[in-house]
Amino acid sequence: MRVLTVNPGSSSVKLSVVDDGREVDQATVGAASAAQARQPLADLVGRGHPIDAAGVRFVHGGLSTDAVPLDRAETARLTALTPLAPLHQPLSLELAAVVAEIVPGPVYACFDTAFHALMPDAAARYALPKSWVREHALRRYGFHGLSCASALRRTAELLDRDHTGLRLVCCHIGSGVSVTAVRDGHGVDTSMGFTPLEGAVMATRSGSVDPGLLLYLLRSGVTDVAGLDDALDRGSGLAGMTGTGGDVRDVLAARDRGDPDARTAIEVYLHRLRREIGAMAASLDRLDALVFTGGVAEHQPGLLAELCGGLGIFGVRADPGRLAAEGDRQVGRAHEPVRVLVVAAREGLEIARQTSLALAAGAGGPCDR
């Protein structure tokens, strides 16, 4: 089965053609724009690839556990979720509409939230009035699930283990950052919550902030709701702390030049990541492996060495030589009880896998994890 996959990120759109689990063609649009992706999409399909179906990554799918065909009703449901993922949901909807014009086969939505849909109530519930929770579907949804699912399967291959038996802490470290506890083949706790704002510090997102502090800013007139929304999503994190655009490479370069704000920002970034890793480890009955994935994890070995250097209490020790190598690999020192791995983010392959399974099972059929 040949699947066109569309993976919109914060700064680019990744396109690929996957044939029976193998990527046979790909393209990257260097801007997160549906209009700019239209021609590369048409070019990709036009290169002689008969497409059976297309899969589009959606950050927020509510409590859906499977890939689903995008019809009018599903599109309307996903549009209603836009306030919960304002940086990503609109682009996915626009891209899906473009794909539907170009690809003759069905278009499926694949969800980052699906990997976390079976989280136990202890991890998913907020301690808020139960009437609010019921009426407004307030819960911790979790994100980066497609990345986690891909990392879990690749880790199982590298360790020669059944993926459903592994206990992992999976760290997706890119422009967005999340940490997930994985058991029985799915997420059982995760750092992101109702929206992708919760948890660790990110490139432009704040991560968790005392809600009382936010109320103070609103009551004091420092900002209004719209200003707060923009600041938390686009003007905080590494960007807000340093005055840069939030790219880790720029912040590290500033630190190397002696910038004190950049130095503090990296310290905060690493501290909050370690704290989330510790919290996720506490959600498991044992820890088989710590897995790093995402662009920063793959391409910043020095920063990863700093991160791992503060995780000795969990039995995590990384080998500098292995960290500096390339490809999917174990980077922990030999014979340590907790394996440490770096694997490439392969969300496109996971999108293709889920789309193929849903198509084979029939519209909206169950997807094997």
Closest CA to 106 of 365, 347, 345, 350: 365
Copy the structure tokens of residue 368.
């094997």
285 in active site: no
Other CB atoms within a 10 A radius of the CB of residue 207 amount to: 23
Residue 29 Cα to chain centre, angstroms: 19
The three-state (H, E, C) secondary structure of 16-52, written as one string? EEEECCEEEEEEEECCCCHHHHHHHHHHHHHCCCCCC
Phi, psi of 362 (to 5 degrees): 100, 165
Per-residue burial over 245-279, b = 16 or more CB atoms within 10 Å of its CB, e = otherwise: ebbbebbbebbeeebeebeebbeebbebbbebbeb
Angle at 309 between CA 205 and CA 285, to 5 degrees: 80
Query: CA torsion, points 332, 336, 339, 340, in degrees to nearest 10?
Result: -30
> Residue 216 in 3-state DSSP?
helix
> Residue 143 in 3-state DSSP?
coil
Full DSSP string of 290-340: EEEESHHHHH-HHHHHHHHHT-GGGT--B-HHHHTS-SSEE-BPTT-SSEE
Which amino acid is residue 196, in one-letter code?
A: P
The catalytically annotated residue of 19, 20, 112, 229 is 112
CB 15 within 8 A of CB 32: no
Calpha distance 311→298 (Å, rounded)? 19
Closest CA to 203 of 264, 170, 251, 146: 251
Calpha distance 301→299 (Å, rounded)? 6
Which are the catalytic amino acids?
112
